[in-house]
Amino acid sequence: MYINLSGLNILVTGASKGIGKAIASKLAEAGATIAVHYNKNMREAENLAQVLGNESRAFQADLSLPDEAANLFDRVILEMGSIEILINNAGVAMPSDINAKESDWMNIWNTTLQVNLTSAGVLCKKAVEHFLKRNAAGRIINITSRAAHRGDTAEYMAYAASKAGLSALTKTIARAYGKQGIKAFSIAPGFVRTDMAKGIMEKYGTEHATGDIALERLTEPKDLAPMVTFLASGMADHATGSTIDINAGSYTH
C-alpha cells in the first residue's frame, strides 16, 4: 500500500526520541513535512529535522508550563503556514507513592496532567480552531495508553488518569466535529521499549513488562509508526473516534 503525505504539515510533539521520533520518521518517508517538537533535546531534534528533509523544522516548548502549548502551535503556523495533522505524543510518567508528602504527590499529579492532558488539550483546541478557520479537513492522533482503560499501578495514578482524559477528549472531538471534516483517533500502547519505560522495568524487572504480552518481544517505537501513518493518510477516516490498541495483546477492548 502506497501512502503519499506530500504537501501536509504535521506537528508531532515529543518527536526528538522514542515513539515520536519513529512516528516523525515514518511520516516523512511518506512525504510529509514535520514540525519536530522537543523540550530539552535540541541537538537531537534539529538533527532529526535535517535528516527528515521535506523542509521539516524543530520547535522547542516545555509542555509542563501553562502557555507553552499555545505558543508552540502559533509558532509552527507562523513558520510553516498551516498544520494539517496534529499528533500528541509527548508525555511523562512520574511515579508517586500514595504515602508521599501531599504537596509532593500533588506536584507530580499536576505536572503529569499538565503535560499529558492539559497541553495536549490546548493543542487539540488550537488545531480544531485552525481547521475550522481554514474550512479544511484535519486529523488529530493522540497517543494515549492501555492504562487509560485498564488502569495502572498505584504510583502511576496520575498517568492513568491523564491518559483516560486524553482518550475521552479524542472521542469528543470526533463526535463533535466530524461533519466539519475533522477526524480524531487514539493509539493506546502498552509497554514500549523507550526511555520512559526503562525506569519502570529497572524497578519492577523485565518480566513486569513482558509477562502479560502475547507476542515474542516487547513493543518498540517502530511498531506504532505505520498505524499512525495509515491514520494520517485518510484511508481510515471512518474509524474516527476509535482507540487502536498496539500493546502486543496485553490488553484489548
Burial group, residue 187, by CB count within 10 angstroms (0-12, 13-18, 19+): buried
- Yes or no: say if 173 and 128 are a contact pair by the CB < 8 Å rule: yes
> CA 193, CA 118: separation in Å to the nearest integer?
25
**Is residue 177 annotated as part of the catalytic site, yes or no?**
no
Q: Which helix (H) or strand (E) holds 183?
A: strand 182-189
> CA 78, CA 73: separation in Å to the nearest integer?
9
Catalytic residue among 159, 177, 204, 251: 159
DSSP code, position 22: H
Burial group, residue 178, by CB count within 10 angstroms (0-12, 13-18, 19+): middle
User: Which active-site residues does the annotation give?
Assistant: 159
